Structure 1
């Protein structure tokens, strides 16, 4: 029996039908995949919340935002620690409670000797460890900060020639409303050092340098206060290990593991590129009604690649919520120059997002987010 060949018209028809099927179902498949990634991200945050509870039970406080070695506080309340000194972050302090006790012990995290770990080749290699609980599958950051595609987004923990790069993270602790470094340059001549030491790191979130926040200090209510939120690669990413310099103002310093609610969710730094966002930054900005910030500064914010325009947040009560980036938003202080020891001006005019990031503003808030996780 002779077989009839497939004609060119039939080939075109079959190709067109296949394209139609792909066009109909591909968006649904992508949506299902992103839904699974978003669920995984929320589950990560729940696990972090459980670990934080366990840590709080043992230490009667949340872990410090950064735990600098050589930390001292004098009778006048002035806090001191070394300049340009690497420090473990809240996320590293939770390793044992997250099920990584061997890594926690090997890095000697409780002793706060990150500078020593960096100089030890064996332990420095452990700093690159992939901690799954700190990685969202939707994020586009590499496994370690030096494996991100853009070299300028490498984050060194050591300023020496033998730089050490740390394992990447998709999550940062909420430091609150004020900037992460006190503006010592505003202090009177010859008085900046004492004022800087006394105020550096103080903030009104759950995490800041040398913080030890107890649940009773979350006076706004644990269900209405952000503990941890997402940080996207286009904002510079984050690390679970720590920072090269708590007091530094560079892109890899104070904001490395901490975020602040002064910035809108998904706000774009000027250095953002199409490779990082997946589409032109101007389009992302226009679609979300956002503005491009000054260089580097918005990397102290929160953001994600999730569909729907928002990010996942762990609240202080352990619940996880997806907060839309169009949430009510209003600042009453400039980006820089406000003293965290002074009262917030026009505090009653703060936006809902700002209120959620502050643990003690005593302002009433409504349901904090749309699309809350189960």
Structure 2
């Protein structure tokens, strides 16, 4: 009987008989290798697509956060009849810093009223809070709204964005050996010579103040100081620190002063950790260079988007540390003064980019 022969069962039904029905055939080596090759090709095709889809979702989340900041900016303007300053510097205390940043001033308008009340930025200076051990940790608060989903990792700022906090310490006092103890001698014994006079009292130990660098809460969003920038610190004047954008040192811009139009002026942009990111709280200018304060919370269109960082001039020039950047790939999100969010590519014409960053240059921007 052949393997595929059909026979008739006793009850009259035909049954297919297969002699090898109990034998199981596996894949040959060639078939197995073919399957593996096909799966590898499919994986190579699908993984980039999945990665791009995830990054697109993170970019959308980032733009959503920027829209919330736009609402907060206009709520602040409604309450104070002006936009917040880029950083509120106390110039009387010396230097360019000791300043609360715009991120702190927006706290009441981004559902962070409790943190704002604890900082009391209206009544307390940045240095006062930073020097207060009971409150300085507040400056390291992780605020989700200020962090881009694509910039994963530490919630604290880059070490380059640290501030110096004064700490009072007591130096070790010099130890003085005790003088010889008085001995009781019998009357018939020869009495020893009188002990030497006690050593002089040590001078009082004065407390010493040392400065310790601490990192602040990270922010991936910086206010636009405009496009005016100078690479030599000595060339800067008051107007340069004020900038020609929406934000600057002690700025108090109103909507009416954005002459180029709200929809044609950048307000806030991104900066990722590759370019040392930023902070939301403020700065105390501990490096003695005015550029630092601007870089801590503000960005300039003087440099292109995603410009490579230059480590040796982090303190002063700011190339690669004062620009705008992101991990979205090929560009960054920007909030316009009217509250709209646009994604600008790193290949945008630098002149168009700089015109967008300026609030009153009077030039037509065109398509962007």
Q: Structures share a fold, TM > 0.5?
A: yes
Measure the CA separation in 2 of the matches of 1:184 and 1:35.
Answer: 39
Specify which of 284, 302, 308 is matched with residue 244 of structure 1.
Answer: 284
- Residues paired across the two proteins, number: 300
Larger radius of gyration: 2
Alpha-carbon separation, structure 2, partners of 1:127 and 1:259: 21
Structure 1, unpaired ranges of 5+: 72-79, 147-152, 187-194, 273-293, 330-350, 370-374
Deviation at residue 124 of structure 1 after TM alignment: 1.5
- Residue 305 (str. 1) matches residue 354 (str. 2): no
Q: Could you list the per-position Cα deviations for residues 73-103 of structure 1 after superposition, in whole angstroms to 9, with x for gaps in the alignment?
A: xxxxxxx552264321111110110111101
User: Structure 2: any 5+ residue segments left out of the alignment?
Assistant: 1-21, 167-210
Structure 1 counterpart SS, 2:163: coil
Indicate the residue corresponding to 2:241 in structure 1.
Answer: 201
Distance 1:248 1:179, change over 3 A: farther
Residue pair 2:164, 2:286 contacting (<8 A) in 1 also = no
Spell out the pairing of 1:148-167 with structure 2 (5 A cutoff).
Answer: 153-158=159-164, 160=166, 161-167=211-217
Question: Could you tell me which of 210, 218, 222 is aligned with 1:168?
Answer: 218
| Equivalent residues in 2 for 1:118-137, closer than 5 Å | 118-137=130-149
Contact 1:68–1:112 under 8 Å retained in 2: no
Give yes or no for contact 1:247–1:254 (8 Å, CA) kept in 2.
no
Query: Using the alignment, how far apart are the partners of 1:83 and 1:251 within structure 2?
Result: 11
Q: Stretches of 4+ moved more than 6 A in 1?
A: none
Q: What SS does the corresponding residue of 2:39 show, helix, strand or coil? A: helix
- The aligned residue for residue 308 of structure 2 is 268
TM-score (norm 1): 0.73
Where does residue 234 of structure 1 map in the other structure?
274
Partner of 2:61: 40
1:89 and 2:101 correspond:
yes
Q: Which residue of 1 aligns with 2:111?
A: 99
| Closer, same or farther: CA 108–125 of 1 in aligned 2, 3 Å | same
Whole-Å separation in 1 of the counterparts to 2:282 and 2:239: 21
Secondary structure at 2:334 match in 1: strand
Q: Is the 8 A contact 2:157 2:215 kept in 1?
A: yes
C-alpha distance in 2, partners of 1:6/1:133?
A: 54
Instruction: Label 1:119 to 1:83 Cα distance change in 2 as closer, same or farther (>3 A).
Output: same
**Normalized per residue, which structure has more strand?**
2
CA contact (8 A) 2:306 2:326 kept: yes
Superposed, 1:351-362 pairs within 5 Å as 351-362=351-362
Instruction: Give the TM-score, by structure 2 length.
Output: 0.75
